[in-house]
Amino acid sequence: MKKINIAIIGFGTVGSGLHALIEKNSAVITKRSGIEIAIKTICDIRVEHVKKHTTGIGITGDWEEVARDPDIDIVVELIGGIEPAKSIIRTALQSGKGVVTANKKLLAEEGADIFKLSGSGAARLGFEASVGGGIPCILALRHGLVGNRIKSIMGILNGTTNYILTKMQEGGIPFPAALADAQAKGFAEADASFDIEGYDAGHKIALLSMIAFNKTVSYSDVTIEGISNINTRDISYARDMGYVIKLLGIAKETDGGIDIRVHPTMIPEGHPLASVRHEYNSVMIDGDMTDPVILTGKGAGARPAASALISDIVQLSSGGFGSASAVVTDGRARHVRPGKRISRYYIRMQTDDRPGILAQIAGVLAQHDISISSVIQKEIHPEYVPLIFMTHEAEESGMLGALRDIKKFDFIHGEVMMIRVEDSLHAGGEE
């Protein structure tokens, strides 16, 4: 049996979850892995708070002491944000320690230096808990699917927004109440706009893309749209057409480069991701040998995150990731030009109800080379009528041009909503 001393830096929701997991399951972990995990130190500025909730563990507020302590084998960084998390991770790796972190923002935005430092000797990095909560999707990409070229990844990567969309879809619960509920359950980021505006999912798809495609991906190159303008009307029109709206992270290799984005997406109700509810995440990885592999589980919350942290601690302790760096890349990703992306689109607008309007809108779509797949006019509105179009596949530049022109008509009232549609299991087309 091998004994591993760890330090937990940051004793918040996830840090205390990891402590609780080790208290509860250490015997079974040792039985399966031959590794005994001992928490030697917990570092948190709230020393008294940690004292109240733990026994027999060293407690300090000084991260530098911990990151350099020769008796610590693995530092678990759980304070989040850029600094001092970055310094903690760098110091620990430079001191020859393993590092396990859930810090997707840091790794996605400023990970390049850290990835370079990891991979020599014991200085290795695990970040399973940064993507998909308890789902072992990084382990799957790095190990289980190592024999595949990855064609695409499509996933529900944020539990808070999936929880909100589920509540809006199934219970007609308004957005603010659903968000407050998700926050109370501990799913949301400290700043919930990271969830709502899609930044959190953007960090996660950037990280998955680097592992899948072995290219350096800048988070700033990921196109990101959140769910703040999704309303129950569009959810209900989508349902009438047999679709569900999900916030998806999508990454795929195309002839024009890698296409990486996060946005609300309409998927058919029979699609495997459509039935993923509440705080559950699901990652669909399309390998050239396996075809789509789908991993689903709780993507947020202390217990699933703690499970992912333990997976990394055991992997690092047993040489499970080999000698390779956490992310092996051979250059920067070439990104597809956003206007060149191909998709089908749902568009919804409110118009006056008089002859010729439909024809004028159809004319604009035709000018931009967009073919209409279906049109619905609802009779229900007392003043303006909702007009809903589904298009065939078209380039995004054409769609955006058409939207600009449609908005100029004086018979259009209020916003014009556009939601991208993905029908296939293989992101971006081909059955």
| Cis? peptide before 84, omega within 30° of 0 | yes
Task: Tell me how far apart the alpha carbons of residues 43 and 62 are, in angstroms, rounded to a whole number.
Answer: 7
Instruction: Tell which residue, 98, 399, 162, 412, has the closest CA to residue 296.
Output: 162
Cα 306 from chain centre: 17
Q: Which of 97, 167, 204, 246 is catalytic?
A: 204
Min dist. Cβ of residue 129 to ligand HSE (A): 8
* Number of residues counted as binding ligand HSE (CB under 6 A): 10
Window contacting ligand HSE (CB under 6 A); options: 35-43, 107-115, 152-160, 287-295 = 152-160
Asked if 428 interacts with ligand HSE (CB under 6 A), we say no
Min dist. Cβ of residue 99 to ligand HSE (A): 18
Asked if 286 interacts with ligand HSE (CB under 6 A), we say no
Kindly tell me which of 197 and 200 has the beta carbon lying closer to ligand HSE: 200
Asked if 300 interacts with ligand HSE (CB under 6 A), we say yes
Kindly tell me which of 300 and 417 has the beta carbon lying closer to ligand HSE: 300
Kindly tell me which of 85 and 421 has the beta carbon lying closer to ligand HSE: 85
Kindly tell me which of 160 and 282 has the beta carbon lying closer to ligand HSE: 160
* 8 Å CB contact between 313 and 198: no
Min dist. Cβ of residue 138 to ligand HSE (A): 13
Task: Tell me how far apart the alpha carbons of residues 75 and 55 are, in angstroms, rounded to a whole number.
Answer: 19
Instruction: Tell which residue, 48, 45, 86, 46, has the closest CA to residue 67.
Output: 86
Interface pick for ligand HSE out of 155, 299, 398, 428 (rule CB under 6 A):
299
Residue 204 known to be catalytic:
yes
Task: Name residues whose C-beta falls within 8 Å of residue 333's C-beta, 6 or more positions apart in sequence.
Answer: 209, 213, 215, 216, 217, 218, 221, 257, 258, 260
Task: Tell me how far apart the alpha carbons of residues 358 and 156 are, in angstroms, rounded to a whole number.
Answer: 35
Asked if 304 interacts with ligand HSE (CB under 6 A), we say no
Question: Hey, which residues between 346 and 405 contact ligand HSE (CB under 6 A)?
Answer: none
Cα 286 from chain centre: 17
Task: Tell me how far apart the alpha carbons of residues 243 and 237 are, in angstroms, rounded to a whole number.
Answer: 8
Window contacting ligand HSE (CB under 6 A); options: 33-41, 157-165, 231-239, 415-423 = 157-165
Window contacting ligand HSE (CB under 6 A); options: 70-78, 89-97, 181-189, 353-361 = 181-189
DSSP, collapsed to helix, strand or coil, labels residue 349 as strand
Window contacting ligand HSE (CB under 6 A); options: 185-193, 306-314, 333-341, 391-399 = 185-193
Min dist. Cβ of residue 192 to ligand HSE (A): 8
Kindly tell me which of 158 and 166 has the beta carbon lying closer to ligand HSE: 158
Task: Tell me how far apart the alpha carbons of residues 41 and 26 are, in angstroms, rounded to a whole number.
Answer: 17
Min dist. Cβ of residue 279 to ligand HSE (A): 7
Window contacting ligand HSE (CB under 6 A); options: 34-42, 154-162, 210-218, 362-370 = 154-162
Give the number of other CB atoms < 10 A from CB of residue 224. Answer: 20
* 8 Å CB contact between 153 and 250: yes
Asked if 15 interacts with ligand HSE (CB under 6 A), we say no
The two three-digit tokens of residue 287, written as one number: 């390998």
Asked if 189 interacts with ligand HSE (CB under 6 A), we say yes
Window contacting ligand HSE (CB under 6 A); options: 90-98, 182-190, 354-362, 375-383 = 182-190
Q: What is the DSSP string of 20-74?
A: HHHHHHHHHHHHHHSEEEEEEEEE-S-HHHHHHH-SS-EEES-HHHHHH-TT-SE
For the window 192-211, what string marks contact with ligand HSE as x by the rule CB under 6 A? ---x----x-----------
* 8 Å CB contact between 166 and 307: no
Kindly tell me which of 264 and 386 has the beta carbon lying closer to ligand HSE: 264
Phi–psi pair at 228, nearest 5 degrees = -65, -20
Min dist. Cβ of residue 108 to ligand HSE (A): 12
Interface pick for ligand HSE out of 188, 266, 308, 416 (rule CB under 6 A):
188
Give the number of other CB atoms < 10 A from CB of residue 294. Answer: 15
Asked if 159 interacts with ligand HSE (CB under 6 A), we say yes
Residue type, 416: V
Task: Tell me how far apart the alpha carbons of residues 95 and 93 are, in angstroms, rounded to a whole number.
Answer: 5
* 8 Å CB contact between 265 and 345: no
Asked if 166 interacts with ligand HSE (CB under 6 A), we say no
The two three-digit tokens of residue 171, written as one number: 């219970």
Interface pick for ligand HSE out of 63, 187, 213, 280 (rule CB under 6 A):
187
Using CB under 6 A as the criterion, which residues of the chain lie in contact with ligand HSE when the complex forms?
Answer: 158-160, 187-189, 195, 200, 299-300
Which residues form the catalytic set? 204
